[in-house]
């Protein structure tokens, strides 16, 4: 639940919602009292300032944060003082609810990588930013998700990893400067026509899993094929 701020409607934010299967809702315009989440965050920050100020290094800061979270969730809150069920702390009020728990890898990917979609060609490769990257031949013609992080690129199909590459990204343009160290994952897909021999037998030099492509050359305007004749004499138009 958020307000209508642009940061919550940004493309990267929408990608996070989709990756973590979050249904986002907005409060009505001009009615900020429908959500006091920012106020709650500021109250929490002020409550934790004293312990944070006493921390002299990073481990102490982490310990202070953990201690604050435990106290905040376990201690009685004024807002719950009149509950008929006797639950007074956030842990008591919400402890029986079980939400979706995401793995650390899923959270890291959702917040620190970008998702792209590509269709695998007849040999199982995806074209991405002037590179041809192998995913899985058995999934030719199917859509694959490409997760681009700071130093890695992962190809997936329906949540199943196909391949992963170490990449170097140009900071200014976002283009891939280099792609290497491919890692292929075993998948449940199988090619319709079995190969005569395993592609691994070709070695790293024989089976190119990442191939750099030439950039698109700008089109040069060609000569006119012919001149369009006048539809009527100029004298007619002025008469």
DSSP structure string for 189-217? ---SS--SS-GGGGHHHHS-SEEE-PPPP
> 43 versus 145: which is more confidently predicted?
145
> 74 versus 50: which is more confidently predicted?
74
* pTM, full prediction: 0.52
- The pLDDT of residue 198 is 53
Q: CA–CA separation, 159 vs 103, rounded Å?
A: 14
Mean pLDDT of 197-225: 67
- The pLDDT of residue 186 is 75
Q: Give the residue from 114, 76, 68, 115 showing the smallest Cα distance to 93.
A: 76
CA neighbours closer than 13 Å in the CB half-sphere of residue 91: 8
pLDDT tier at 228 (50, 70, 90 boundaries)? low
Phi, psi of 67 (to 5 degrees): -65, -40
Beta-bridge partners for 116: 146
Whether 93 contacts 87, CB under 8 Å: yes
């Amino acid at each position: 639940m958020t307000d209508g701020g642009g940061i919550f409607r940004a493309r990267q934010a929408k990608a996070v919602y989709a990756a973590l299967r979050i249904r986002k809702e907005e409060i009505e315009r001009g009615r900020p009292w429908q959500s006091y989440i920012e106020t709650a965050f500021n109250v929490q920050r002020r409550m934790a300032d004293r312990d944070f100020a006493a921390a002299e290094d990073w481990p102490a800061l982490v310990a202070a944060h953990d201690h604050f979270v435990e106290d905040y969730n376990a201690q009685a809150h004024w807002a719950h003082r009149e509950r008929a069920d006797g639950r007074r702390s956030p842990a008591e009020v919400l402890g029986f609810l079980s939400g979706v728990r995401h793995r650390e890898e899923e959270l890291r990917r959702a917040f620190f990588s970008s998702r792209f979609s590509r269709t695998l060609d007849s040999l199982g490769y995806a074209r991405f930013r002037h590179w041809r990257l192998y995913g899985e031949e058995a999934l030719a013609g199917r859509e694959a998700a490409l997760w681009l992080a700071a130093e890695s690129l992962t190809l997936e199909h329906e949540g199943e990893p196909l391949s992963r590459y170490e990449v170097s990204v140009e900071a200014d343009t976002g283009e891939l400067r280099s792609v290497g160290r491919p890692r292929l994952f075993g998948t449940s897909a199988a090619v319709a026509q079995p190969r005569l021999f395993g592609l691994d037998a070709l070695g790293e030099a024989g089976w190119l899993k990442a191939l750099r492509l030439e950039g698109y050359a700008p089109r040069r305007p060609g000569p006119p094929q012919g001149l369009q004749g006048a539809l009527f004499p100029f004298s007619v138009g002025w008469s």
